[in-house]
Structure 1
Amino acid sequence: MREEMDTARDDRPLKRNRSTRDDLEQIHNYHGLNTTTNFEGIAGAHFERLYSVNVIAKIWGVAQRAFSRPTPPILFPEYTKPGDIGYVYRELDFWTSGFFPGCLYLLLERQRKYAHNLRRIGLSPTDHVPHELQLQTTHDLGFMIAPWARAAWELENDVRGYDTVITAAKSLASRYSPVVGCIRSWDTCVTKRYSFQDLDKNFLVIVDNMMNLDMLFWAAAELKDDKMYAVALNHAKLSQRYHVRADFSTAHVVNFDPATGAMKSIITNQGYSDESCWSRGQAWAIAGFTQTYRWTRDGSFLETAKNCADYFIKRLPPSGIPPWDFQAPKNEPQPTDTSAAMIASYGMLLIHEAEIAAGRPSTYLQHALRIIGAVCTSHVNSPAEYVSHDDFIETPDGRGLGNQKETIDMGSGAETILNGATINNYEFAPRRWANHGLVYADYFFLLVGNKLLEMGIGEGLVRG
């Protein structure tokens, strides 16, 4: 097992950030493309929006409000209401709190690792202001902590970031039940249709939790902790067995008997029905099982991820943007979910890397690019921009002191980069939001952009 953990990242392709034609040809060949590949034709154009100044301005326009205050923020952006512009904020202990700080670190990563690539295509990376969060105990620690704390360690050698990830991983692992064989997701769940509030009778596990395992595997490798590794591995195996159906669609919530480990029921909390396929849940599975494969080298996880991706791809409408649920009635207008689109695209890029590294042909890059391009074409909000103006300070001698001050004009569009997301459209959900902006849609939009730069093809996408 230790050998597996120590070599778990070896399948990643070499990072290539050069821009000569020979190097681009080598990159294209590596990824099964050719130098005449028309990326715009594959994905629908507008890839430049992945790296535009608008992306930086949107993030900083929101962030600068917190930076101007004397105390760390306790509320974090989550979503914009349908038809509205401004973010709605949630408390520090809410599961989405890590994504906006994560966006800042993704911009920092662009500055540190890919600044030369971006400057070649006429773009400038931004500066960075550090950010800190405090730890809360919940299954969503992977979402709340990893996007920023692990980046703080890897990009800035911030020991506090490292310690925070390790502490979060230990806390997450403590929610593991050896009887059930996985980590408890929600302690309780109440909708207009059902109520689960007794922890002694219910053990709720959601497909989303596959994305939290990456943090566990990482911490297990750092600590050389076989028990933590086993917790993550066992959870993935159980999720593979119960969340993934025979046709490779995914269920959202599985309820187990905490005393016996037996499955009690399968339900949805955000999809169309208990038997349907909620598209963001499918996206979590695509990315989560691929991440698990990268750590374990268990080929069954990669096969599961590929099959889930194939299900996702085959059910995409001509627009390339997934509906919020693949089984929602087609005879009625259905909201899209750009967060599902970006998460699934990220997972497909990981699958592509694994396939190419194994010497197998892959179409997953093209499928990912098609989805990314569709989002860039149809669901990027109107831009924010940097605006310079004179800042004059008067002095007694009448000469004064003047300088140029730069601010961000958020314009008339929403504060999010993307629109077209859907938090929850379940008929019996306590809150239903669709067709709006969402912080983790933006996070994965940035993450996909960075991943394409890491793979060596992001710059080529913008140049066309």
Structure 2
Amino acid sequence: MNRIVCKYKIVLLLIFICVTGKAAGQQKFWPGKAILYCGTQALQTIAETADTGVNLPRSIASGDKNWRYVGYRDWCSGFWPGILWYLYEATGQPRWKAEAARFTTELSPLSKQPGFDHDLGFQMYSSFGNGYRLTHDQAYKQVLLRSADSLATLFNPRVGTILSWPPMVKKMGWPHNTIIDNMINLELLFWASKNGGGSRLYNIAVKHAETTMRNHFRPDFTSYHVVVYDTVSGKKIKGVTHQGYADSSMWARGQSWAIYGFTMCYRETRKKEFLQFAQKVADVYLARLPADLIPYWDFNAPDIPNAPRDASAAAITASALLELSTFVAHSSKAKTYREKAEQILARLSSSEYQSRDKNPSFLLHSTGHKPNGTEINASIIYADYYYLEALIRLKKLNEKQTKKS
């Protein structure tokens, strides 16, 4: 294992200058070093999977050294292949492409199964979506189109949203439930509508976003985790939480999904109401952040400042803010979003939040499901995915600025 890691550390070091570029001294935070770090850490995970014969890492408990692995049906299964595709994009190294393709293939059966919950977008767009974007492999395209059709079967036209958790219908008595996380899965539908899937998928995605915008938020633009609807009338029954502190609290990752999701919806539709809403949900999040810009797992947790943090919410928000900054016409607000994103990434890249020699993940201190007592103060794969995505987005923005200057 050590030979493999050392070999590719050298390769990554050789491409470091290409990754960082000439403008490294011109930004408050330049992502090149952090991208190199992610590559070094990912090599350790690849070596670990080779040694154990298991795949698809999900999380590492606080104090542990090794990943907990999951099967392809787990909602987090697409993030590891997605990380590898991002490393291929950032470096151009064939090794990353080969590894990404190998792990992506494991998720293929999902596209041949009936829609069983909303997570198909997370699973398939993170893996096959990034793979198709970078390779234009037609086999990937077909998998994505089948997956989008499967996801669309969960859409209830009377309600106007996609059913998120079918098992919760009986378990919790939630007839038609929609979680804020579901906003991210709309990207698969938008993509498919432009690549042979037809306008029906576009319309489903837009309707879901519009219904969510209308029903999922309190007057102060903080998000419920779950909204429960009546399947007959289509009307909202109630807003509740499942992973947050309380029904009335602002669960950090949920608000992050909202910022990311509505920013993406504006990119795909150019509907101004989505852009305006993305700013509203971003502004309340930023206004309530602690001084170090990494949120507690819930903004209303009763044990703050001793409550666990959630680096995953910070990473998701940083990535979303970078994209949002490119859409906002008001220059001062765009600058604020960009600067906050860079500051968040700088904080995540510090010794307090990077895993470094503690374990092979990228980041520490994420919180998965606090009320359930799982993945608390842990390293979690989706935190790593959005962290790397944000770093690459910043790298591209920096390169674009350099070309203009």
Range into which the TM-score falls when normalised by the shorter chain: 0.7 to 0.9
In the other structure, the counterpart of 1:57 is 40
Secondary structure at the aligned position of 1:204 is classed as strand
Greater strand proportion: 1
CA apart distance, 1:128 = 3.7
In the other structure, the counterpart of 1:247 is 220
AA matched with 2:379: G
Match of 2:108 among 129, 134, 141: 134
Structure 1 residue ranges (4+ consecutive) displaced by more than 6 angstroms after TM superposition: none
**CA distances 1:281-302 after superposition (whole Å, capped 9, x unpaired):** 0000001000001111111111
Greater helix proportion: 2
Secondary structure at the aligned position of 1:307 is classed as helix
Cα contact 1:135–1:145 (8 A) shared by 2: no
Cα contact 1:77–1:439 (8 A) shared by 2: yes
Cα contact 2:84–2:97 (8 A) shared by 1: no
Match of 1:286 among 253, 259, 276: 259
Taking structure 1 as the reference length, the TM-score comes to 0.75
1:182 aligns with 2:161: yes
Secondary structure at the aligned position of 1:455 is classed as helix
In the other structure, the counterpart of 1:391 is none
In structure 2, the CA distance between the partners of 1:446 and 1:18, relative to structure 1 (3 Å rule), is closer
Mapping of 1:167-316 within 5 angstroms? 167-189=146-168, 195-196=171-172, 202-223=175-196, 225-316=198-289
Instruction: Write the distance in 1 (CA, Å) between the matches of 2:181 and 2:397.
Output: 26
In structure 2, the CA distance between the partners of 1:262 and 1:250, relative to structure 1 (3 Å rule), is same
CA apart distance, 1:18 = 10
CA apart distance, 1:60 = 2.2
Cα contact 2:85–2:97 (8 A) shared by 1: no
CA apart distance, 1:88 = 0.9
**CA distances 1:29-56 after superposition (whole Å, capped 9, x unpaired):** xxxxxx996605xxxxx8554222x311
CA apart distance, 1:69 = 8.4
Unmatched tracts of structure 1, length 5 or more:
1-16, 25-34, 41-45, 116-123, 384-412
AA matched with 2:340: H
Cα contact 1:76–1:89 (8 A) shared by 2: yes
**CA distances 1:319-354 after superposition (whole Å, capped 9, x unpaired):** 111110111125551100000000011110111011
Structural RMSD (CA): 2.7
CA apart distance, 1:237 = 0.5
AA matched with 1:236: A
In the other structure, the counterpart of 2:66 is 86
Unmatched tracts of structure 2, length 5 or more:
1-18
In the other structure, the counterpart of 1:160 is 139
In structure 2, the CA distance between the partners of 1:458 and 1:277, relative to structure 1 (3 Å rule), is farther
Cα contact 2:295–2:314 (8 A) shared by 1: yes
Which is higher, the Rg of structure 1 or of structure 2?
1
Match of 1:447 among 386, 389, 403: 389
**CA distances 1:12-41 after superposition (whole Å, capped 9, x unpaired):** xxxxx9956xxx6xxxxxxxxxx996605x
AA matched with 2:254: G
In structure 2, the CA distance between the partners of 1:224 and 1:359, relative to structure 1 (3 Å rule), is farther
In structure 2, the CA distance between the partners of 1:99 and 1:126, relative to structure 1 (3 Å rule), is closer
In structure 2, the CA distance between the partners of 1:135 and 1:458, relative to structure 1 (3 Å rule), is farther
- How many residue pairs get aligned? The number is 373
Match of 1:419 among 358, 364, 381: 364
Cα contact 1:177–1:184 (8 A) shared by 2: yes
Instruction: Write the distance in 2 (CA, Å) between the matches of 1:380 and 1:459.
Output: 27
Instruction: Write the distance in 1 (CA, Å) between the matches of 2:348 and 2:21.
Output: 26
Q: Larger relative contact order (C-alpha < 8 A, sep ≥ 6)?
A: 1
Percent identity over the alignment?
A: 30
In structure 2, the CA distance between the partners of 1:185 and 1:92, relative to structure 1 (3 Å rule), is same
1:148 aligns with 2:127: yes
